[in-house]
Amino acid sequence: MSGNNEHEHHHDHEHDHEHEGCGCCCGHDHEHEEDEDFIKKGIFRIALGLILLCLAIFTKGNISIVLYIASYIVFGYDVVLRAVSNIMHGHLFDENFLMSLATICALAIGEYTEAAAVMLFYQIGEFLQDTVVSRSRKSIKDLMELNIDDVNILKDGKIVTVEAEAVEVGDTVVVKPGEKIPVDGVIIQGETSLDMKSLTGESVPVEKGQGDSVISGSLNNSSLIYVKAEKKYADSTVAGILEMVEHASSNKSQTESFISRFAGIYTPIVVFAAIAVVLIPTLMGHDLRTWLYRALIFLVASCPCALVVSIPLTFFAGIGTLSRKGVLVKGSNYIELLSRTDTVVMDKTGTITKGEFDVTDVKGEETLKYAAALERFSTHPMGKAVVKKYRGSYSSVKDVSEISGYGISGTIDGKNILVGSKKLMDREGIECEQGYNIYVAAEGKYIGAIAVEDTIKEDSKSAVSQLGIQGIKNITMLTGDKKEIAEAVAKEAGIGNVYSELLPADKVSVVEKMCGTGSQVVAAIGDGINDAPVLARADVGIAMGGIGSDAAIEAADVVIMEDSLAKVPAAIKLSRATMKLCRENVGFVLAVKIIVLVLAVVGKSNMWMAVFADVGTALLAVLNSIRITKY
């Protein structure tokens, strides 16, 4: 990018440290120390330059000139050196070149005070901008609170402390109250409540016990637990989150790309315009010094740093704010796409519904008792729901046999019991009613039925409503489930368009048709392996649940670290707020610069106005950008 080599140099340096700190507390501390050193050096440099400048003002003659030049060197040596370095590498027209050209020419015509002052205010502005960027980045990381350093593992009956990266799959990790779980795994001993707000943005603790899966980054609130590691630290949820956040800025949005192209064209134009401001009036017989001064004002005011700093910062702050709320965006380009989304397609199971079956109706006095007694021996999700519903004692069960594709049979209290689908009843010639999922027969006679349903999540209906309020014109549900079930769920959630009984390839075809209909931006939401192709094909793929399918998360552009559909309209709203701030910055900066540039040509502005048009607008734009962190 020809218009921001200085910022690329400094901010690339920052990102290098971010990458070094990814997944390691000591790296994060090193980055923090670098930021503190940078702030101290900046303060010392500005203070030293100010002392020299004040001495120059209050002295006379050659000593004054020497002090002016010394203060200029303190304030601007790195700007001039970068300008020279960039010229040698073929980058002539950049911000450093503009500042160097303007101030060196000012020195040449004897405007020592203004030359040094321009560099002073430039450095103050840059210092404040970079301090805001540094602290904004640090606050985002602190809010996530995901870095993990030392880990306690159980080895040969003793507790040993090791680094997080040293934990192997199968190790038993000991997590005390107040500590974070370092790796993904399963609780093998103990019960506790976990604070997962750093991961999901949700403040309500989650109760976990033996046999429950847990994810790294969760804070152990109450009791000692033993966790069997199922992943190494580098492969765990916490490392993946940090990597996604750290590298998100590498995917530039269209607005950022526009700024890059804009700076490359804009900078040479203003340089040649400044030359014209000097040459044309001088050739017409006007005073060279007067028009050279105006050209210098023109050059300083035209520096594009306000745009090339504030726009990427706005997206960075937006990504950080979303991550704090449990929504991980893999690049600023997806923030822009989210802001323009007008079509949303979503999976049913696990996205709109809980993905867990519940018993909603039981017909027959002994139906649940017999069904639960046999379903204990089944792995079918509906069977598990029946067992969960039953609260009584079990009779002895003999001769249990699974009837593949139909159900299960066994002997209870001397009776031959059948539990299964209507197909099983039909096969056995047992008459029964319609509308249920599980039927029970004893000794060849129908005794009752059970209705089991996958209920919708508590926030699904309100989330769909919020999407409509935000102007999402088309909300569609895609599912492989039966038509009647799909339509019932869609009706309850408030979704008008439904495609049912679809294979994964069919879902992709539907999304492809939507994506190919013009300018609309299609966002797809899903959580399972079968949703991955759809998430990859949509303009924006949104994976539900950070502990869901790895394939869905890999294919998605946005990952919601909680099974809450309400996060989607919230993410769209915040993305639109981010884009609004970008547009405000671009409009404000360009308006101020145009006004000062015109005033410079007609002789109605001075160098101080030019400094405000450059550094002042940059600082205001930066402060405007970080407003997004307050959302």
Active site residues: 347
CA distances from 452 to 351, 356, 389, 421, 427 (A): 18, 10, 10, 12, 21
Q: How far apart are CA 492 and CA 489, in angstroms?
A: 5
Q: How far apart are CA 576 and CA 570, in angstroms?
A: 10
Other CB atoms within 10 A of residue 495 CB: 23
Reduced to 3 states (helix: H, G, I; strand: E, B; else coil), residue 259 is: helix
Q: How far apart are CA 93 and CA 6, in angstroms?
A: 12
Q: How far apart are CA 450 and CA 359, in angstroms?
A: 7
- For 173-190, b where at least 16 C-beta lie within 10 A, e where not — what string? bbbeeebbbbbbbebeeb
Which string of DSSP letters, residue by residue, matches 355-373?
A: EEEEEEEEESTTHHHHHHH
Q: How far apart are CA 471 and CA 247, in angstroms?
A: 31
Reduced to 3 states (helix: H, G, I; strand: E, B; else coil), residue 163 is: strand
Which residues, other chains included, contact 216 with Cβ-Cβ below 8 Å and sequence gap of 6+? 148, 180, 181, 182, 183, 184, 231, 233, 236, 237, 238, 239
Between strands 341-347 and 521-526, the pairing is: parallel
CA distances from 551 to 38, 214, 311, 555, 564 (A): 41, 19, 32, 6, 19
The two structure tokens encoding residue 6: 């200085």
Q: How far apart are CA 616 and CA 544, in angstroms?
A: 42
The two structure tokens encoding residue 484: 């009647």
